[in-house]
A and B are shown apart, each in its own frame.
Chain A
Amino acid sequence: MAAFAATAGRLLGLRAAGTEGRLLRLRGAGLQRALLQPASATGDAAQRRQVAHFTFQPDPEPQEYGQTQKMNLFQAITSALDNSLAKDPTAVIFGEDVAFGGVFRCTVGLRDKYGKDRVFNTPLCEQGIVGFGIGIAVTGATAIAEIQFADYIFPAFDQIVNEAAKYRYRSGDLFNCGSLTIRAPWGCVGHGALYHSQSPEAFFAHCPGIKVVVPRSPFQAKGLLLSCIEDKNPCIFFEPKILYRAAVEQVPVEPYRIPLSQAEVIQEGSDVTLVAWGTQVHVMREVASMAQEKLGVSCEVIDLKTILPWDMDTVCKSVIKTGRLLISHEAPLTGGFASEISSTVQEECFLNLEAPISRVCGYDTPFPHIFEPFYIPDKWKCYDALRKMINY
């Protein structure tokens, strides 16, 4: 009880000092919970793991694709893979641990249904997985490779950048590996730290010849993954792992495609354009509500979906309307994909801008473990940046 009194006093003290920003930051970090709840011998609230930094907002049930089923993200992925293997007899799925269903259960049941020659484990070697996948694709068969975590894609970087991306160009279109799709879990998950939280899309954005796609939801994931698999270019499909179970919505059972390189305005607005992809789209949605509620600001929220080649037209069109742009991603600030968007938009929409373009990103550090709540570009940081843009 004494501890509580002390912390409560500190809280009041802060208020008195008028350090509203600090209070916001403390609240955002979830410390408020710790300040209001007493420590005890068992179940110390301050030690409990953080609540997620976003709320998944399901989209309304799609009407135009037939019967739907409630699915989470990994189930939507399974459904897409199931559809692909059913439709395309050459399609195979491979990677580490995919045979038993995968560490994120994305391939559960597929080996039983389609056979061990179509859904199989490979040795633990990412450069092998991607190289092998390229080889399959060169013969014209469909190769769906899984990299267990996007953090482990780097051994395959040479095969992706120097081989897959350049196969068609360097051969004068005699050969290609367009039927290759690489899938990998992506982004922060609350406790992943350096090697289970990365968002490496920026490394690949710099590589002409591949496509890079990040879905925000189960419905988007299935449609975008099917588009990637059927696309005639090698694609990397990053799946936000924190959404695997947390994101649930109605998803069509039959196959359908969501076009690549088309960004989506998921909420129209007039004062600020907010651009994000993957998990961060849900953070932006909340930021948009907060902005409307607290500042009376109308935000246009755009889900970029495809990082490469990206839909400049939709973003520029929006910024021309609103005059302000905020881009947010978990990946570190420097060289992150927000810098590419920012650079292009200021070239194309310079005279329309009312304020400098804002980027709210992860810090230029490796992704930390215990400090994750401070690291991620949460809604408070985005809100604060938006506020500054409005008041510019």
Chain B
Amino acid sequence: MAVGENPSQSLSPVMDSPSLRELQQPLLAGVGCGPPIQKPGEPQLGPPFGETAFAESLRGWQLLPPPLPTVSAGLGEPGPPDLEDASSSDSDSDWDGGSLLSPLLPHDHLGLAVFSMLCCFWPVGIAAFCLAQKHPQRQEQQHFPSLDDKPQFPGASAEFVDKLEFIQPNVISGIPVYRVMDRQGQIINPSEDPHLPQETVLKFYKSMTLLNTMDRILYESQRQGRISFYMTNYGEEGTHVGSAAALDSTDLVFGQYREAGVLMYRDYPLELFMAQCYGNASDLGKGRQMPVHYGCKERHFVTISSPLATQIPQAVGAAYAAKRANANRVVICYFGEGAASEGDAHAGFNFAATLECPVIFFCRNNGYAISTPTSEQYRGDGIAARGPGYGIMSIRVDGNDVFAVYNATKEARRRAVAENQPFLIEAMTYRIGHHSTSDDSSAYRSVDEVNYWDKQDHPISRLRHYLQGRGWWDDEQEKAWRKQSRKKVMEAFEQAERKPKPNPNLLFSDVYQEMPAQLRKQQESLARHLQAYGEHYPLDHFEK
């Protein structure tokens, strides 16, 4: 059974560099190396040419080991499927430096000299003899004294050490926590004060508090059965707003699910937050996902997905594309300390570093992944300590200090874009709320612990103290703002409740850009079904 003809090497239409073509030649292994195969019972053959001195020089090259084919050759290159090709699968290994000498001749100069003399090739013999004096024997290893005492491994750049010592991971006094304000909102080191204008700092404050108000109302609404699910951001508002403020408005954001403050800072309207949670006809996501899975193209906030850490390598790819486009954009990628355990996190960090991507990895280390405390999530010095392992510039900050978050993100952004390298910011904070409406955290932590953070180290109160210290805020404004923000949220909330859900046809669209024939049939099948059985379905709540 013949196989389709094998193309010869010269057929390649694309640029097949000569060096690659060399690699494609089958190994010459075994040719001219080693004595001829002896059949049993036949008299032993002496050395090929029978003369002792001569044979001695030949033995030199006979003993050269045949070059080994690389282990990977057989797999990467499937052997030709027919039996006519007697050689084993192509090897990609180079051998012998591409010697121009025939394999039958000695390869060392001295041997060649002797051989030539004996065969009366005097000029060759003399030349080879001279060469033998000038150049060291090929069999002997060349000596490079200057490289003796340094490791030459391609895999690491380091010195030798002759003392057996394991590196002790430092978790007792780990990477320090950068902060600008103390817990009472006082600037510690004035040179670290970003000196943001009043308007900007007020925007920080109002974004955080509006988010807080929206969280309370929507959490309640889930308890009352109005929406199916909710996740609050209590205690982490500083991480959202501080970082969002340090970015350009067109910087692309990949989040996990607890970064609503970033959208809030970018002026995502309350109506749209609510629409997504209610899955009503105004939802830009067309009602397809659970609450808090926000997305906004206009505000460069990629739609949230439930699987954790999947956004990390995606953010890196987006950053790579931004770099190629010379967009002067950074991509920021948020995730929790729990998600940082996923393989996708490792993948993302490694790719960002090796491919030199302008991406900020922002880890919200809030102490818990649902019920799992950090002591069960990792054993090293948090997430920041992993950065250097990947070759990534890293910092740990006080996530409840909005100015520290701002400063770190600002500098990271500047350098990421200027230097095309990733930055890792681990923002230490605390998750004051439950993981979600499906969680009751009193099952795994004390109320005292939660109260400490709520009362003693909250990003909102720290900023309020700062504002009050500057004379930019007071109790009256606080009271008025609380009333106003609550009113805004309630209005949006009531409106969102009243709106119908999207048309059920939207169940079927956007699977692909165009609807496949099979899916259209299924859509028609549902339509027919609803005609007959519609009374059993909540059609009244959906747009027609």
Contact = CB atoms under 8 A, between A and B. Distances in A.
Interface of A: 48-49, 51-52, 55-58, 69-72, 75, 78-79, 82, 90, 92, 101, 103-104, 108-110, 112-113, 117-118, 120, 122-123, 125, 127-128, 130-141, 143, 155, 158-159, 162-163, 166-176, 178, 189-192, 196, 208-209, 211, 232-233, 241-242, 244-248, 253, 261, 309, 312-313
A336 B476 CA distance: 70
B317 A134 contact: yes
A128 B517 contact: no
B248 to A, nearest CB: 15
Nearest to B4: A56
Give the interface size bracket for B toward A: 35 or more
B475 to A, nearest CB: 41
Given A57-B4, A103-B76, A138-B302, 11 more contacts: A75-B14, A108-B15, A122-B351, A132-B351, A135-B313, A137-B317, A139-B325, A171-B302, A173-B510, A178-B513, A196-B75
Nearest to B83: A48
Interface in B290-330: 293, 295-297, 302-303, 305, 307, 310, 312-322, 324-325
Interface of B: 1-7, 11-17, 20, 74-83, 252, 254, 283-289, 293, 295-297, 302-303, 305, 307, 310, 312-322, 324-325, 331, 343-344, 346-348, 350-351, 354-355, 509-514, 516-519
22 contacts: A51-B82, A52-B3, A55-B3, A109-B15, A112-B17, A127-B344, A128-B348, A131-B313, A132-B313, A136-B317, A139-B317, A163-B305, A166-B305, A172-B284, A172-B286, A172-B287, A175-B295, A190-B78, A191-B78, A232-B514, A261-B516, A309-B512
Best-buried of A56, A58, A113, A246 by chain B (most CB within 10 Å) = A246
B81 A190 contact: yes
A157 to B, nearest CB: 11
Contacts of A55: 1-4
Given A55-B1, A56-B3, A58-B4, A128 B305 contact: no
Given A131-B348, A189-B78, A141 B303 contact: no
A192 B78 CA distance: 8
B78 A170 contact: no
Given A131-B312, A208-B511, A253-B13, A171 B295 contact: yes
A247 B14 CA distance: 17
A82 B14 contact: yes
Given A123-B351, A313-B517, A174 B296 contact: yes
Given A132-B351, A163-B314, A247 B320 contact: no
Contacts of A118: 324
Nearest to B306: A162
A311 B252 CA distance: 38
Contacts of B514: 232
A246 B1 CA distance: 13
A125 B318 CA distance: 17
Contact of A141 (B312, B316, B321, B350): B321
Contacts of B320: 92, 132, 135-136
B344 A170 contact: no
Nearest to A180: B317
Contacts of B343: 127, 155
A248 B303 CA distance: 45
A263 to B, nearest CB: 13
Contact of B510 (A127, A141, A168): A168
Contacts of A172: 283-288, 295, 303, 510
Contact of B297 (A175, A244, A253): A175
Nearest to A148: B76
Chain B CB count within 10 A is highest, among A104, A128, A174, A190, for A128
A75 B78 contact: no
Nearest to A189: B78
B285 A133 contact: no
A249 to B, nearest CB: 9
A176 B7 CA distance: 41
B19 to A, nearest CB: 10
Contact of B303 (A79, A123, A174): A174
Contacts of A109: 14-17
Given A82-B14, A131-B310, A134-B317, A70 B7 contact: yes
B7 A122 contact: no
A211 B81 CA distance: 31
Contact of B81 (A72, A112, A131, A242): A242
Nearest to A121: B354
Given A75-B13, A117-B324, A209-B511, A163 B310 contact: yes
Contacts of A69: 13
A245 B516 contact: no
A255 B354 CA distance: 33
Which of B4, B77, B510, B517 has the largest number of chain A CB atoms within 10 A? B4
B4 A248 contact: yes
A233 B296 CA distance: 20
Contact of A232 (B284, B305, B509, B513): B513
Contact of A174 (B3, B75, B297, B509): B297
Contact of A248 (B7, B75, B286, B316): B7
A51 B512 CA distance: 42
A48 B154 CA distance: 40
Contact of B351 (A51, A128, A174, A209): A128
Given A51-B82, A172-B286, A245 B6 contact: yes
Nearest to A161: B307
Given A122-B354, A127-B344, A170-B293, A132 B7 contact: no
A234 to B, nearest CB: 9
Contact of B83 (A49, A103, A159, A246): A49
Contacts of B295: 171-172, 174-175
The residue among B288, B331, B510, B512 with the most chain A CB atoms within 10 A of its own CB is B512
A75 B12 contact: yes
B4 A246 contact: yes
Most buried by B among A70, A92, A127, A133: A127
Contacts of A245: 6-7, 78, 80
B273 to A, nearest CB: 15
Contact of A135 (B2, B82, B316): B316
A291 B152 CA distance: 64
Nearest to B89: A191
A178 B7 CA distance: 35
Contacts of A178: 513
Contacts of B519: 208, 309
A202 B84 CA distance: 36
* In the A-B complex, the 10 residue pairs with the closest CB atoms: A135-B317, A131-B313, A128-B347, A135-B314, A171-B303, A172-B286, A52-B81, A109-B15, A56-B4, A103-B76
Nearest to A124: B350
B325 A125 contact: no
B305 A122 contact: no
A208 B512 CA distance: 8
B313 A136 contact: no
Contact of B512 (A82, A103, A168, A171): A168
Contact of B285 (A113, A140, A171, A233): A171
Contact of B324 (A48, A92, A122, A138): A92
B310 A132 contact: no
B203 to A, nearest CB: 25
A242 B78 CA distance: 8
B355 A120 contact: yes
Contacts of B350: 123, 125, 128
